[in-house]
């Protein structure tokens, strides 16, 4: 038998032996993929997911969002008088009713700062299988109401055209203004204002022009989808068959209370009639220097 030829290098007193056999990187291997031997048949019970959501899910109305074309191409700010988005930069398609969502986590999201407590209301929910809820969509829970506050100043234009309140108002509890004598006075419906509950629009009378109106009301609970944390939830079943079966699982979405994005202090500057607003309460907290409502950023 012929001896195997080896290469040797001397390093000091040691001798390093190297084989002539070529070395191939594992990253460049051309081996064919081997057939799997996995025979684990443990799978999620998709019917159980359906049953869980059907039993525990809240009945909601799902509105798919779109960017409103009213945007100003120079400032990228939406039109505050737009009848579609009402200055938020987001419009919504007609609602799909009866979409069930299981709320798995519901936190108040309270923050404490120099402006007081700021409530963002964060929640997570699993959406009924088959509904592709996406970011910036709006979720309405018609069976729940929450307390909301709103403040605006009465201008000549708002007396003539009315003022849209960006909530689904269930009940107005209190409206007041600071009188000429410096005292707080309650506004009377039918005398100081009228309210169209079909379109959530308030019409102050001429005697309130120049005053600030503060409103306390009950509104329908609404969420904005800020993230889809588990957009692709799935499993392959019957893996050992030639054609595996694909099962879609419920999406996990991150929800935030609508009030975190709605401009609830839309004050108009009487000197130049410009709307000095904010895209969200967060901008006030961060002392934003912008005077325009950058609605597309939400």
Task: List pLDDT tens digits, range 208-242.
Answer: 999 999 999 999 999 999 988 766 666 656 555 56
pLDDT band at 159; cut points 50, 70, 90: very high
Task: List pLDDT tens digits, range 81-105.
Answer: 888 988 888 999 999 999 999 887 6
Q: Which of 254, 249, 218 is nearest to 236 (CA)?
A: 249
Whether the full predicted model's pTM is greater than 0.75, yes or no, is: no
CA distances from 272 to 86, 143, 155, 166, 275 (A): 20, 42, 12, 24, 9
Task: List pLDDT tens digits, range 254-296.
Answer: 999 888 888 888 888 776 666 654 443 344 334 333 333 444 4
**Ranges 23-27, 86-90, 123-127, 232-236: which has the least confidence:** 23-27
Tell me if 77 sits within 8 A of 295, measured CB to CB.
yes
What percentage of the chain exceeds 70 in pLDDT?
61
Fold adopted by 46-146+219-297: Thrombin, subunit H (2.40.10)
**Ranges 106-110, 116-120, 145-149, 266-270: which has the least confidence:** 116-120
Tell me if 186 sits within 8 A of 176, measured CB to CB.
yes
CA distances from 233 to 20, 103, 258, 287 (A): 50, 17, 26, 39
Mean model confidence pLDDT for the chain: 76
Mean local confidence (pLDDT), 16-27: 56
Position 264 scores a pLDDT of 86
Sorted by where each begins, the domain ranges of the chain are: 46-146+219-297
Give the gyration radius of the chain's Cα atoms. 31
């Amino acid at each position: 038998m012929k001896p195997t030829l080896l290469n040797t290098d001397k390093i000091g007193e040691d001798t390093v032996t190297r084989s002539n056999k070529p070395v191939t990187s594992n990253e460049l291997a051309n081996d064919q993929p081997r057939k799997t031997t996995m025979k684990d048949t443990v799978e999620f019970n998709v019917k159980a997911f359906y049953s869980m959501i059907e039993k525990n899910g809240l009945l909601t109305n799902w509105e798919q969002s779109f960017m409103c074309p009213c945007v100003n191409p120079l400032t990228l700010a939406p039109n505050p008088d737009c009848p579609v988005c009402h200055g938020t930069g987001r419009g919504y398609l007609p609602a799909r009713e009866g979409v069930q969502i299981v709320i798995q986590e519901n936190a108040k999201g309270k923050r404490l700062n120099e402006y007081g407590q700021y409530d963002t209301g964060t929640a997570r929910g699993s959406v009924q299988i088959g509904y592709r809820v996406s970011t910036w969509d709006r979720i309405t829970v018609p069976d729940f109401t929450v307390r909301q506050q709103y403040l605006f100043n009465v201008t000549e234009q708002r007396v003539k055209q009315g003022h849209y309140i960006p909530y689904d108002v269930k009940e107005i509890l209190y409206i007041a203004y600071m009188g000429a004598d410096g005292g707080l006075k309650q506004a009377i419906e039918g005398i100081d204002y009228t309210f169209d509950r079909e379109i959530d629009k308030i019409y102050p009378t001429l005697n309130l022009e120049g005053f600030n109106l503060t409103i306390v009301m009950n509104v329908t609970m609404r969420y904005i989808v800020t993230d889809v944390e588990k957009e692709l939830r799935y499993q392959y079943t019957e893996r050992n068959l030639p054609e595996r079966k694909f099962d879609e699982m419920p999406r996990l979405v991150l929800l935030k209370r609508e009030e975190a994005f709605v401009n609830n202090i839309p004050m108009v500057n009487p000197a130049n009639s410009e709307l000095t607003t904010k895209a969200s309460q967060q901008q006030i907290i961060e002392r934003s220097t912008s005077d325009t409502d950058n609605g597309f950023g939400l």
